[in-house]
Structure 1
Amino acid sequence: MRIILIILTACTLLNSCKAGMDYVRPEMSIPADYKEANIWKAAHPMDNVTKEAWWEAYNDSLLNELVREVSISNQSLAVKEAQFRQARALVDSSAAQLYPVVTLGATVNRNRGSGNSSGGGSSSASSSQSTLTNYSVPAALSWELDLWGKVRRTIEANQAGAEASFAELEALRLSTQAQLAEDYFQLRSLDTQRQILEETISGYEKTLQIIKNRYESGTVGRADVLNAETQLKTTAAQSIDLGVARATLEHAIAVLIGKPAPSFTIPFMPLSFGTPDIPYSVPSELLERRADIAAAQRRVAAANAQIGVAVAAYYPSVTLSPSSGFQSGVISKLFSWPSLVWSLGASLTQTIFDGGYKLAVTEQARANYDAAVATYRQTVLTAFAEVEDALSTHKILMTELRVQDEAVKSAEAAAAVAMNQYKAGIIGALDLIVVQNIALNNKKTAAVIKGRIMSNSVMLIKALGGQWSGLGNIGLETQYR
C-alpha cells in the first residue's frame, strides 16, 4: 500500500501526467507583404512622440486629453476590466484545487441517557441517567490527487482564458480610442465645412449688396435680387444644418469618455489637416501586434486545454482523507497524548457507466476547439483585409484630394471671372450664382475628403494594432500638406 501511494504521489508531481495534447498555435498562411504597401516610405524620426500613445502623433492637445479620458472613464472598458479580474480570480480558484483541503473544528457534546433504557430498579435508573460531556478538536484533510492532469489542464484553460480576456480588454480599449479619434476628426471636418460656409455667406452678402445696388440703379431686374437672396439663405440653412451632425458626434464623444452629454462641449475648431507617419508592419508582425488576434489565439489554447479536462474524466480519481484530533470527556485533559485520535483513509472511484456522458462532453470540447481555430483564422483574415482596406482607401483618397484641390482652384478662378463679367454686364445674376455654387460645392467636397483621410489614418493605426513599440519608423506619404 505504501509503495502504491508513493507511486501515485510521484505521478501527481510530474507535469507529463496530463491528459490531452499540449497547445500548438494553429497554422495560418501569411502573405509576405501587403498589396498596397507601395505607398509607404521611410519617415522622419519622431523621437518626441510616445509611440504607445499613437494619438499624440496628430499634435492635437484636445484630442490627447479626450483619448486619455477613455481609459479612465469609459464604462464599456470598466465592464471589460471587471471581467478580466473575474477571469484572473478564476485562475486562482482552479489552482487552489491542486492543494489539499484542511479543516479544523471544535465541538462539545453533552448527553443524558434514558433511565429506562436497561430496565431494573432505581439504582440502575440512577446510573443510566448520568450526564456525560465530551470535548473534541477534530482536524481533517481531503486531497484528490491530480493523477491525470485534470486540474492542471483546468488551470491551463483558465489561464489562457484570462489572457484572452486581457487581450479583449486591450482590443476594446484601442477600438474605443480609435472610435473617439474618428468621431473627433469628423467633427472637425464639419467645423471646416461650417467655416467655408460662413466665409461663403460673407461673400454672398457682398454679392447681394452689389446686385441690390445695380437693381436700384435700374441695371438689373428684381429677379436678380431674389435669386441672390435665395442663394444666401440656402447657404445659411446649410450652415445651420451642420449643427445636427456635429451635435450627434459631440454626444457620441461624451459617451465614449464617460461624461453626460448635456454637460460636455467641444469648442469650434476647423480641421488641421495632415496625416501622421505611421510605423510599417509586415503581415507576420500583425499577428503579434493586434490584441484581437491574441485574444482569438488564447481562446484556442483554452479550448485545447478543455479537451484534456474532458479526457482526464475517463480515468479513476484517487482521494486521500486522513483525519486526526483530540477527544476527551474532561476539558483539562483534552490536549494530552491519551486523548489523541486519528484515522487514515483513501478512496479510488471509477465510473463504469454514464450513458455516454463523458464521450459527449469530449466531443463537445473538440468541436469547441475546432470553432476556436476557425475563429482565430477568420480574425487573422479580417485583420489583413482591414489593413489592405485602409491602405487602398488612403491611396485613392489622396489621389482624389489632389484632383479635388485642382477643381477648387479652377472653381475659385471661375467665380472671380464670373463676378467681373457680371459687373461688366456680360452675364446675368443666375449665371453668376451657378458658378459660385460650383465653387462652394468643390470647397465642401475637399473638406469632406480631408476629414475622410484623417479618419482613415486612424483606422489604419487601429488595423495595425495601435502599439508602435519595437518597430522601424516607417510612414504613409501623404503628398499633401
Structure 2
Amino acid sequence: MLSLVYSLSGCTVGPEYRTPAPPATDSYTPKALPEHTVSSPGATGLAQQFKAGGELPAQWWTLYRCEPLDALIREALSNSPNIAAASAALRQASENLRAQTGIDLYPAIDVKLNATREKLNGTTLGQPSLNRILSLYNASVNVSYNLDLFGAARHELEALGAQVDFQNLQLQGTYLALSANIVTAAVREASLREQIDATERIAADEETQLGVLRKQLEFGGVGRVAVLSQETLLAQTRATLPPLRQSLDRARHQLAVLAGKPPSDNSVPEFRLSMFTLPQTLPVALPSSLVRQRPDILAAEALLRQASAQVGVATANMYPQLTLSANYGPQSLTPAGMLKYADMIWNIGAGLTQPIFNGGQLSAKKRAAEAAFDEANGQYRQTILLAFEDVADTLRALDHDAAALAAQTEAWRAASSSLELTRGQFRAGGVSYLALLDAQRQYQQTIVNLTQARAARYADTAALFEALGGGWWSDAARIQTGQADSDINPQ
C-alpha cells in the first residue's frame, strides 16, 4: 500500500512554469543613442553621458545632491499611506501562504472531548426489553492528511507564492512611484518659482519703462498709443502671475500629501532649481536586464506564474483525491472509566474520491484556467513592450531636452542683448517704440522658455530612472527603511 502511495505522489500533473524569454533586441530606439547629450553654456547645460549596462543605486534621487529632497523622500517613505497599504497587502499574502502551507503539507491533528446523554432503544439491537438511559464520554486524537497525489496542493502553494511575489513587487513599485513623484513635484515647484521670479522682474522692468514713457508723453516725445501699448504689455505680464501661483500652490499641496501630510502642513521645504545638481552619468540597463528588474514587468510575470499554477490545480482536481484518517482515545460510560486503558478505541481509514460525472464542471474550469493563463501571458508581453516604450521615450526626451536647452540659451542670450541694445537706441531716438515693445516681448518669452527647458532636464532624468526600475533590486532592504546612502557619488 505504501509503495503505491509513494509512486502515485510523483504523478504531478499540470504545466511546469518557465520564465518566458525576453524580446530579442539589444536597443530601445531605432537609431543608436549618442554617447552623450549636447552641452550648452552654464552649469545646468552640461552634457549627460549614457552608460549602457550601468547599475542604478537604490536611492537614485541622491544623485541630485539635494539634501532637502533626500530628507523629504525619507520622511515620505516612512509616512506614506500608500506604502502602509502595500505593506499590509504583502503581509496578508504572506500569511495566506503560511496558512495554506499548514493545510496542504502537514497532517491536521485535533483533540476532541465529547459527553452525551442518550436513551438506548433495544429494539434496534434485537433486544426489545433493553431500554436504558446512559451517558457516554469520549476523548480522542484525530489525525487526517490529504495526499497530494497529482500536485493540486503544490500548484496551489505555487499560486499563493506568486501572489506574495506580486504584492512584494507592488510594494517596490509604490516606493519607486512615490520617490519619482516627489522628485518631479519638487522640480515643478522649483521651475514655477523661477518662472514667477522672472515674470515679476520682467513686470518691474516694464513698469519702469512705462514710467519713462509717461514722462516722455508729458514732453511730447511719444504718443498716447505708445503709453497704452506699454500699459497693455504690463497688464498681460501681470496676468500670467496668478495661474503660475496657482500651479505653485498645487505643487506645494501635492508635495505635502506625497510626504504623508495634510496640504496645510508648512514644514515641506521650498525648492529652487539651484538646489539640484543634474546627474552627469545616466546608467541605462540593457533590455534583457530590464525585464528582470522593473517592478511592473516582474509583477506581471508573477501573475503569469500564478495563472500557470491555477491550470495545474484545475488539472489535478480531475484526478483521484486520497485522504488518510485515524482516531485514537478512550470511550466510557463514566468519566472515571476514561482513565482505563481497556476502554481505548481506535480506527484508521483511507478515502478515495474520483470524479465521474459533474456536468463538465471540472473540464470547463480547466479550460477557463488555460484561458486565464493566455490572458496573463498577453498582459505580460504588453507590459514589456510598454516598458521598452517608456525607456525609449525618456532616452529620446533627454537628448531633445539638452538640444532644446542649448537652443533656448542661445535665444535668451540673443533676446537679452537685443533688448539692451534696443533700449539704448530708443533712449537716443534711434528706433521706434514698436521695436522696443517687440524686443521686450521676445525677451519675456525666452526667459520663461529657458526656465522650463532647465526644469525639463531634471524632470526627464527622474523619468528615466523611474522607467529603468529605480535600482530597488540592488538595495531593497535599505530603501524600505529610507536610510541615506552616503556611498553614492554622482559622476
Scaled by the length of structure 1, the TM-score of the pair is: 0.87
Is the 2:210–2:227 Cα contact (8 Å) retained in structure 1? yes
> Which residue is equivalent to 1:20?
14
2:484 aligned residue: none
Task: Please name the residue that 1:275 is paired with.
Answer: 278
Deviations 1:378-429 (A, max 9, x none): 1111111111111111111211111111010010011001111111122233
1:267 and 1:209, CA in 2 relative to 1: closer, same or farther beyond 3 A?
farther
- Alpha-carbon displacement from aligned partner over 1:421-449 (angstroms, at most 9, x marks no partner): 11112223333122111101011011112
Q: Which residue, 102, 106, 114 being the options, matches 2:109?
A: 102
Aligned to 1:263, the other structure's residue is in SS state coil
* Match status 1:324 vs 2:328: yes
Picking from 35, 58, 66, the partner of 1:60 is 66
Query: Which residue of the other structure, out of 93, 101, 104, is the alignment partner of 2:99?
Result: 93
- Residue type at the aligned position of 1:174: L
- SS for the counterpart of 1:170 is helix
Max radius of gyration: which structure?
1
**1:31-73 CA distance string (max 9 Å, x none):** 123336533459699xxx9921111111122222222233222
Aligned to 2:170, what secondary structure does the other structure show? helix
Deviation at 1:230, TM superposition (A): 2.8
The answer on 1:7 being equivalent to 2:4 is yes
Task: Kindly provide the amino acid, as one letter, of the partner of residue 51 in structure 1.
Answer: P
Tell me the amino acid that sits aligned with residue 105 of structure 2.
L
Residue equivalent to 1:39 = 34
SS of the equivalent of 2:429 reads coil
Q: Distance in 2 between matches of 1:234 and 1:268?
A: 27
CA 1:428–1:43 in structure 2 vs 1: closer, same or farther (change >3 Å)?
A: closer
Q: Alignment partner of 1:39: what SS? A: coil
Matches for 1:56-205 after TM superposition, within 5 Å: 56-96=62-102, 97-111=104-118, 132-205=134-207
One of 336, 343, 353 as aligned partner of 1:339: 343
2:452 maps to: 448
AA paired with 1:275? L
Mark the CA change 1:414 to 1:470 in structure 2 (over 3 Å): closer, same or farther. Answer: same
State which drifts further: 195-204 or 302-311.
195-204
1: CA distance, partners of 2:59 / 2:464: 15
Q: Is the deviation greater in 451-460 or in 175-184?
A: 175-184
SS of the residue aligned with 2:370?
helix
Task: Return the offset for 1:148.
Answer: 0.8
Mean Cα deviation higher: 386-395 or 426-435: 426-435
Paired residue for 1:300?
Answer: 304
1:74 and 1:117, CA in 2 relative to 1: closer, same or farther beyond 3 A?
closer
Contact 2:56/2:471 (CA < 8 Å) preserved in 1? no
Q: Which region of structure 1 is more displaced relative to structure 2, 438-447 or 460-469?
A: 460-469
Distance in 2 of aligned mates of 1:434 and 1:69 = 48
Distance 1:140 1:163 in 2: 35
Contact kept? 1:310, 1:362, Cα under 8 Å: yes
Instruction: Give the corresponding residue for 2:410.
Output: 406
For residue 8 of structure 1, what is the amino acid of its counterpart?
A: V
Deviations 1:246-305 (A, max 9, x none): 122222223322221123465554323653132231111111220111111121111111
Alpha-carbon distance between aligned partners in 2 of 1:476 and 1:367, rounded to the nearest angstrom: 48
Q: State yes or no: 1:434 paired with 2:438.
A: yes
Counterpart code for 2:5: L
Change (3 A) 1:322 1:44: closer
Mapped partners of 2:401, 2:82: distance in 1: 33
Separation in 2, partners of 1:440, 1:368: 57
Instruction: Give the superposition deviation at 1:10.
Output: 6.0
Q: Structure 1: which amino acid aligns with 2:113?
A: A
Q: Report if the CA contact (8 A) 1:418-1:435 is conserved.
A: yes
SS class of match (1:261) = coil
Cα offset for 1:27? Answer: 2.6
- Return the TM-score normalized by structure 2: 0.86
Number of equivalences: 460
1:390 aligns with 2:384: no
Equivalent residue, structure 2, for 1:250? 252
Q: Distance in 1 between matches of 2:457 and 2:433?
A: 36
Change (3 A) 1:44 1:169: closer
Residue 215 of structure 1 corresponds to 217
Structure 2 segments unaligned to the other structure (5+ residues): 37-47, 476-486
Give 3-state SS (helix, strand or coil) of 2:330's partner.
Answer: strand
CA contact (8 A) 1:279 1:468 kept: no
* Shift in alpha-carbon separation, 1:434–1:269, aligned structure 2, 3 A: farther
Say whether the 8 Å CA contact 2:90–2:164 is kept in structure 1: yes
Q: Is the 8 A contact 2:22 2:291 kept in 1?
A: no
Q: Residues 144 and 318 of structure 1 are in contact (CA less than 8 Å); yes or no, is this contact kept in structure 2?
A: yes
8 Å contact 1:250–1:265 — kept in the other structure? no
Other-structure match for 1:121: none
Residue 103 of structure 1 aligns with an amino acid whose one-letter code is: D
Residues 339-367 of structure 1 deviation map (CA, whole Å, 9 limit, x = unaligned) = 11111121111111111111111111111
Distance 2:214 2:270 in 1: 33
Measure how far apart 1:194 and its partner are. 0.8
* Segment drifting more, 267-276 vs 199-208: 267-276
Letter in 1 for 2:374: D
Moved more, 102-111 or 298-307: 102-111
Quick one: which amino acid aligns to residue 366 of structure 2?
A: T
Deviations 1:59-115 (A, max 9, x none): 122222222233222223332222222221221122122222222121223446799
